[in-house]
Structure 1
Amino acid sequence: MASKEATVYIVDCGSTMGERSNGRQQTNHDWAMEYIWDKLTSTVANGRKTALAGVVGLRTDGTENLMDGEEDYAHITVLQELGQLLMPQLRKLREELVVSSTEAGDAISALVIAIQMIVATCKKLQYQRRIVLLTDARSAMQADDLGNITAKLKEDNIDLVVLGVDFDDADYGYKEESKDATKAENEAALNQLCEDCNGVFGTLAQAVDELGIPRVKPVKPVPSYRSMLTLGNPEEYETALAIDIERYPKTMRASAQSASKFVIRSDMAAGEATQSTQTMGNGEEAEGAAPNGTNDGLAAVKTARTYLVNDEDAPGGKKDVDRDELSKGYEYGRTAVHISESDQNVTLYETKPGFDIIGFVDKNQYERYLDMSRSNLIVTQRGNEKASMALSSLIHALYELESYAVARFVRKEMTEPRIVVLAPNIEPDFECLYDLELPFAEDVRGYRFPPLDRVVTVSGKILKVHRNLPNEELLDAMSELVDSMDLSTLGEEGGEYAVPDETYSPMLHRIAQVIKHRAIHPNEAPPAPYEILTRFSRPPDNLIAKTQRELDRVIKAADVKKVPPKARARRYGRGKEAPKPLSDLDVGALLALDPKRGGGKLKRKIDPQNAIPEFKQLVQRAEDLPDLQDACGQLGAVIEDWVRFSVGDSGYGRAVEGLRVMREEMGEMEEAGAYNDVVKGLREKVLGGALGGERALFWYKVRVGRLGLLLGSECEGGAGEEEGREFLRAK
């Protein structure tokens, strides 16, 4: 269970925060809000009811707090009471946290208000309590009672964090020149307050610069298994070994935040969207909706599944059936094999929980590629000294003999058994066993590849020198290139480059960054990714310069040549001229005048026996768009005949190949319409049964080959992405 937290943010909204200091393009307030929004959106993203947050506005135009009747507490507004923060409150704060028109307001009084909020909400319960004060310290402060405030902060275990706009910080290396006298005095007082209560005092520049560093999420370990680790059968033999253990995950895969599907509620007016309830029309609560009853006029998408079976008497030849009327079928080849529920027990392997050592293996014989799962660690139950001594003996025995244990593991009853390897781990103050799942024989796939250092001919002759084999010069050049790319000393102060602890997942943290930015600025483009996420996505500049000589040698030894880009957008009559024969005889012109093919140059008909080559010839000689459309139409008719007169699927291969060639040629010609018209008509006839009955298998082959519509991303004038996806779906 995650720990409870209660944080109050005090944000200075005075008129001086609207200035642009020290050459910044944004105002001091906007700069400060980068830090505040990052913290608040992180709290919202966690979605924890035990993570409470409150916001107090300092130097606001109005006054609204528990002590608003006293003069010292004027221009302090509680914008968000201490509680769970959700998106509706975040949008409300976006409208309220703006620069005011006043300079009056006491930061010390705002601290008192924040302390009262925490004490009233948390009482004596166990919370991690924190107050974050963000100000430019340019208004008068009542610093006479700082001693009592320090005592109260210590009494209630409240951590204080003070971040100042352009505050001096020797550790960070920042000092503001020509500082205002009032600001210097207030800054010194706040610094002394943080020292007295063991708080944190810093400059805002450092806090904003560190926003790009992903924060490690602390996770409380939860045991995945609690029982005994056995060696032998303790129920039958007194000499068997049984140790009370607990199993915890050692590594876990962090997944990026997933998206949810919502629709706009049909019963909401346009102006009611921001205050809609989350209850769906049938009184059921929308899945994923906000717990306080607001969901911005959205309703969760619900999936409805219907089952159809063939029925000649039903309208359309199919009827709906309930799921309860269906039986399970297991695929065996292309046949569905039915097993009734009464016979399901035959397919189940009865097991009971257990962790049994079944053997040992030499450490040097174990290959790392056999690991099939994330790692877990095994320790003894807390407070069990006898088990600790026994497990420690086993760990040291495995370590001294350089061996691993192999165990059979069943986590809970009626689950399939797994075979795991147990590796010892010994540290000065910690000992444990690491376990990883091993593959069964069925999990291992053996592949044979041709050797890389020789070529074996069909007759069995072995060639050591061949055009596909590297020569000695290339091997030496490549060896030097690999040696020159050593990263072990490219880090800071000659250390390792790309240390794992400083390498973060770009996908995981980039998605989180964009989500948080869009929550606060819904109409703005996402910001650029943080530099810390992309710095290892490209090789270091100094390494590129260092290895250029070795790279040039490899290019020369391998005779690397740049491949010219593929010519695109061939136009009618502008294609590459065919090589001229030595006899000056134009064979293509003679074939075009063949009376069996239509007589005229452009009236030529495609022969079904040689359709694809003749289609390419027509495309090459086309002079305008109608010629291309005529060629595609002729080939389309031939493809339809191949499908119509196909015995089974014997003609599907030729039809699919013809469709592929037509798609490639029209893509190069940038004439998507000519191809799309043909394939649309073909789809309608195939799915409508107009090509000799049921031809769904042919359309399946078209879908597998991705021979749908030409899209706009592939050539000019193509179909849209959504239209292309919908076209390939079987109806």
Structure 2
Amino acid sequence: MAEKEASIFIIDVGKSMSRVREGRQESDLDYCLQYVWDKLANIVYTGRKGLVVGVIGLRTDKTNNHMQEEGGYEHITVIQSIQQILMPELQSLPNYLKTSSTDTGDALSAVILGVDLLMKHCRTLKFTKRLYLITNGTGKLDPDDIEEVAAQIKQNDIKLTILGVDFDDPEYGFKEENKPFQKQQNEEALKKLVELSDGVYGVMDEAIEGLQRPFVKEVKPITSYKGQLRLGDPEKYDTAITIDIERYPKVMIRKPPSASSYVQKDAAPTQQQEDGADPLTNVRAAYSYQIKDEDAPGGFRDVPREELAKGYEYGRTAVHISESDENITKLDTHQSYEILGFIPAENVERYMFLGVANILVAQKLNDKAAYALSSLARALFEVGSVAVARFVKKDMAEPMLTCLSPLIDDTIECLVENDLPYAEDLRIYRFPPLDKVLTVSGKTLASHRNLPSDDTMEAMSDFIDNMSLINPDTKEELFAIEDVYSPLLHTIESAIKYRAVHPDGTLPPKSGILLEPSQPPKDLQAQSQKSLARLIKAADVKKVPPKVKGRARYRDRESDKPLSGLDVDALLKKPGADRSGPRKTITIDPQNAIPEFKRFFSAPDDDALVKEAVVQMGKIIEDKVRTSLGDSNYDLAIEMLGVVRQEMLELEFSELYNEMMHSLKGKIVKEELGGDRREFWWKVRVLKMGLIDSEQSENSTVSKEDAAKFLRLRES
């Protein structure tokens, strides 16, 4: 069970907190509330019932607390009693945390009130108790009872944190010039209170800087397997080894929070607001199953889910397997964890590990299992080997192959588990070697323009040394794994937390700590300039001109002349052919369609020929789909579509491509391309080869919504 925690925030809202000082653009209160909102939003984000919070306002216009009758507790208001804080409470707090019209109110009295509230709520139960005081240190503070208050805080194991606006802190390196005498005395008194109670005393600037580091949610690991790790069969052999183990996740994939769908309720919004009800409601998904039926309206008939049978996709065919037949195909397995053998660790490639990592530890309070697992882990470590095991999580579950590697340090001796692939999970790709060039005749070339020279290798080695992220003197790592955070996760989470408190306005910029790993450190860039220049010279690197987007329809061939000065089209031109005048016709060979289409569009002559080329390409694509045996020609047809789409985008002829796509879709719907070709259209949809919309090309008249609707095959 997660540990319970109770926190109280004492927030100074006095009149002096409305001032803007030290070059800041917000008031002292708004500056401090950045820290408060972040802390409270993190508590709400965890959703734990065991995290309870109370909020006290110091130097408020009114007085509202259970100790006000005793005297000395004036202008202190309990804004929220200790309770679980949820979104409604969080969003209501900004209405109360506003600067008042008075500077009267004793901070030490507010601390006493906070201690009393904590002790009444926690009683003798096991709680982590925290008390935060956030103030600018102005106003009156009575220091007479500091020793007694500090003793009470220490005795009840309350963790006190005092954060002050523009407080002097030699460790942080800040000292306020021309500090008022009253504030100086208050700072000394508060610092004494912290020292006597073993608390934390800091300046708000340092706390705000600490907010740049993302909040990491602590997750309590949950066991995913309890059983025995076996080496040999104990039922057959006396020498078999069995170790009682527990399996926990070691590294898990964390995904960003998902969005929920809501719709407006049926009632009128004005009436809902008057009633105080939530105008939104959850979206509930409803599924319907249809089959083709020429007699039914629209050509499809709804079928109840109970009448459906399970089918497995085999090409473009759904193969039905009955439940009795499917039971035969299932492997009869029983929960177990068995070591199959051992292999040298050097023979295991890192790319073979699949999925997440788990950790195997000995069963709790089982010394025999702890000694046995420790012996196994140390034996594997000393001989440099790993174990290959067969793991079945529960009865009738699919077996998995795992690699068990030893992990030994000062605190733990255990095994790290990684999933291994089966033979069908591997894809073998062959690439040409990087250190030599093989000619068509089989000759091996050790020297070639595509192979690095000794000078290039030396320059590259020097450049890599200069870009090392580990300081050679201090051995300090610039981007240690514990200092690198996921920009995706924490950007979304920070946006959610900010919007929870500030429903309107612009989101704050991304944290600098998230952006740092996106580019090399500036000192390394400066340090490696010389080695980089040497590498560029040794490798003869040339800058490639950027690809022109939205090029002119009829380009000047002189401006498109390649860097080498070699005109390939002129070399391929037939003797006696005259390219000075426009061509009257164009013929694209279906067997060499893509190269010829691209060659024509390197210098198109006029609109009529462009349209003719697209029409011919459309017919070739339709023919490829029509004559395709299964999906054998689909990839080629998709590639042709992509080429036409790209050329039409660059030449701003989106209407020609869109006309071709309307014709193609119409023939697929009517099954005029050799039968049912819906699988081809599914590829078109997945690869987003639909219409060119107005956001992709300015001369397109198709909206983004219409382009998305076009991809749905049932839409006309």
TM-score range, shorter chain: 0.7 to 0.9
Q: CA deviation at 1:538?
A: 1.2
Question: Among residues 485, 498, 513, which one is paired with 1:517 in the alignment?
Answer: 498
CA contact (8 A) 1:644 1:692 kept: no
Shift of 1:301: 2.1
Over residues 176-232 of structure 1, what are the superposed CA-to-partner deviations in whole Å (9 max), with x where a residue is unaligned? 222212212222222222222222111111111111112443333332222222222
Aligned pairs (5 A) from 1:59-208:
59-69=59-69, 71-208=71-208
Change beyond 3 A, Cα 1:45–1:646: closer
- How far the C-alpha of 1:18 sits from its partner, in A, is 0.7
Contact 2:654 2:692 in 1 (8 A): yes
Alignment partner of 1:413 is 2:398: no
Distance 1:254-1:315 versus aligned 2 partners, 3 A rule: closer
Q: Judging changes above 3 Å, is the alpha-carbon distance between structure 1 residues 244 and 371 closer, same or farther for their aligned structure 2 residues?
A: same
What residue in structure 2 maps to residue 312 of structure 1? 294
Q: Does 1:708 align with 2:690?
A: yes
Change (3 A) 1:694 1:276: farther
Match of 1:289 in 2: none
| Fraction of identical pairs, as percent | 43
One of 624, 629, 639 as aligned partner of 2:618: 639
Q: Is the 8 A contact 1:139 1:183 kept in 2?
A: yes
Give yes or no for contact 1:484–1:547 (8 Å, CA) kept in 2: yes
Aligned to 1:535, what secondary structure does the other structure show?
helix
Matches of 1:429 and 1:360 in 2, distance apart? Answer: 25
Post-superposition CA distance 1:699-721 (Å, at most 9, x none): 44543553322244433244554
Q: Which moved more, 1:128-137 or 1:514-523?
A: 514-523
Q: Deviations over 1:41-63 (max 9, x none)?
A: 11111111111112111112223
Where does 1:233-632 land on structure 2 (aligned, <5 Å)? 233-270=233-270, 272=272, 277=277, 296-489=278-471, 493=474, 495-571=476-552, 575-576=556-557, 586-587=578-579, 589=581, 591-592=583-584, 620-622=604-606, 632=611
- 1:212 to 2:191 alignment: no
Preserved contact between residue 310 and residue 317 of structure 1 (Cα < 8 Å): yes
| TM-score of the aligned structures, taking structure 1 as reference length | 0.86
* Alpha-carbon contact 1:19-1:28 (below 8 Å) kept: yes
Asked whether the equivalents of residues 624 and 637 of structure 2 are also in contact (C-alpha less than 8 Å), the reply is no
- 1:667 is matched with 649
Residue type matched to 2:87 in 1? M
Following the alignment from structure 2 to structure 1, what is the Cα–Cα distance between the partners of residues 676 and 296?
A: 19
Gapped runs of 5+ residues in structure 1? Answer: 278-295, 598-605
Tell me how far 1:19 sits from its aligned partner.
Answer: 0.6
| Alpha-carbon distance in 2 for matches of 1:369, 1:254 | 21
Instruction: Give the match for residue 600 of structure 1.
Output: none
SS of the residue 1:213 aligns to: coil
Tell me the SS of whatever aligns to 2:342. strand
Q: Deviations over 1:554-574 (max 9, x none)?
A: 222222211222334444666
Could you say what secondary structure the match of 1:327 adopts? coil
User: Given that residues 11 and 56 in structure 1 are in contact (C-alpha distance below 8 angstroms), is that contact kept between their aligned partners in structure 2?
Assistant: yes
Q: Distance in 2 between matches of 1:139 and 1:65?
A: 20
Q: How far does residue 33 in structure 1 lie from its aligned partner after superposition? A: 0.7
Report Cα offsets for 1:62-82 as digits up to 9, x if no partner.
Answer: 232223445532222222222
Task: Give the Cα separation in 1 of the matches to 2:221 and 2:173.
Answer: 39
Matched residues in 1 for 2:432 and 2:620: separation? Answer: 43
- CA RMSD in angstroms comes to 3.4
Normalising by structure 2, what TM-score? 0.87
Q: Give the Cα–Cα distance (whole angstroms) in 1 for the partners of residues 615 and 271 of structure 2.
A: 52
The whole-number CA distance in structure 1 between the counterparts of 2:456 and 2:656 is 49
Instruction: Provide the C-alpha distance between the structure 1 equivalents of 2:105 and 2:177, rounded to a whole number of angstroms.
Output: 25
- 1:319: Cα distance to partner? 0.8
2 CA distance for matches of 1:391 and 1:617? 69
Q: Tell me if structure 2 keeps the 8 A contact 1:112–1:149.
A: yes
Q: 1:351 to 1:653 in 2, by over 3 A?
A: closer
| Contact residue 57 and residue 97 of structure 1 kept, 8 A | yes
Name the amino acid aligned to 2:103: E
Alpha carbons of structure 1 residues 82 and 364: separation in structure 2 relative to 1, 3 Å: same
Q: Deviations over 1:323-365 (max 9, x none)?
A: 1111111223333221112233112212222222222223343
Residue type of the partner of 1:730?
A: L
Uncovered stretches (5+) of structure 2, i.e. residues with no partner: 561-566
Aligned CA distance change for structure 1 residues 273 and 655 (closer, same or farther; 3 Å):
farther
CA displacement at 1:613 relative to structure 2: 5.6
Q: Is the 8 A contact 1:490 1:497 kept in 2?
A: no
1:658 Cα deviation from its structure 2 partner? 6.8
Work out the CA distance in 1 between the residues paired with 2:382 and 2:628: 65
1:490–1:496 Cα contact (<8 Å) kept: no
Q: Measured at CA, do residues 616 and 234 of structure 1 come closer, stay the same or move farther in structure 2, by a change above 3 Å?
A: closer
Tell me how far 1:135 sits from its aligned partner. 0.7
CA distance in 1, matches of 2:86, 2:251: 31
- The question of whether the paired residues in 1 share the 8 Å contact of 2:621 and 2:640 is answered with no
Contact 1:82/1:121, CA 8 A, preserved across alignment: yes
Q: CA deviation at 1:138?
A: 0.9
> 2: distance between equivalents of 1:175 and 1:716?
58
Change in Cα spacing, 1:663 to 1:151, as seen in structure 2 (3 Å) is same
* Worse-matched range after superposition: 53-62 or 660-669: 660-669
- 1:680, CA displacement in angstroms? 4.4
Counterpart AA for 1:384? N
| 1:288 alignment partner in structure 2 | none
Count of residue correspondences = 695
Residue 270 to residue 730, structure 1, CA distance change in 2 (3 Å): farther
Q: In the alignment, residue 711 of structure 2 is paired with which amino acid? A: L
Distance 1:99 1:14 in 2: 6
More displaced 10-residue stretch of structure 1: 362-371 or 180-189 = 362-371
Shift of 1:39: 0.5
Cα-to-partner distance string for 1:80-113 (whole Å, 9 max, x where unaligned): 2221212222221122211122111222222233
Partner amino acid, structure 1, of 2:57: G
Assess, with a 3 A threshold, how the Cα gap between structure 1 residues 618 and 193 changes in structure 2: closer, same or farther: closer
* Distance in 2 separating the partners of 1:642 and 1:433: 56
Q: Structure 2 vs 1, CA of residues 545 and 329 (structure 1 numbering), >3 Å: closer, same or farther? A: same
> For the Cα contact (< 8 Å) 1:75–1:104, is it kept in 2?
yes
Is the CA contact (8 Å cut-off) linking 2:150 and 2:197 kept in structure 1? yes
Single out whichever of 21-30 and 332-341 deviates more from structure 2. 332-341
- With over 3 angstroms needed to count, the CA separation of the structure-2 counterparts of 1:662 and 1:351, relative to structure 1, is closer
1:12-91 pair list within 5 angstroms: 12-69=12-69, 71-91=71-91
Q: Taking structure 1 as reference, are residues 647 and 391 closer, same or farther at Cα in structure 2, changes over 3 Å only?
A: closer
Deviates more, 1:150-159 or 1:669-678: 669-678
1:588-632 deviations in whole A, cap 9, x for unaligned? Answer: 64743xxxx7xxxxxxxx77889986995899444xxxx57x954
Rounded to whole Å, the distance in 2 between the matches of 1:726 and 1:354 is 51
Q: Quick one: distance in 2 between partners of 1:182 and 1:471? A: 74
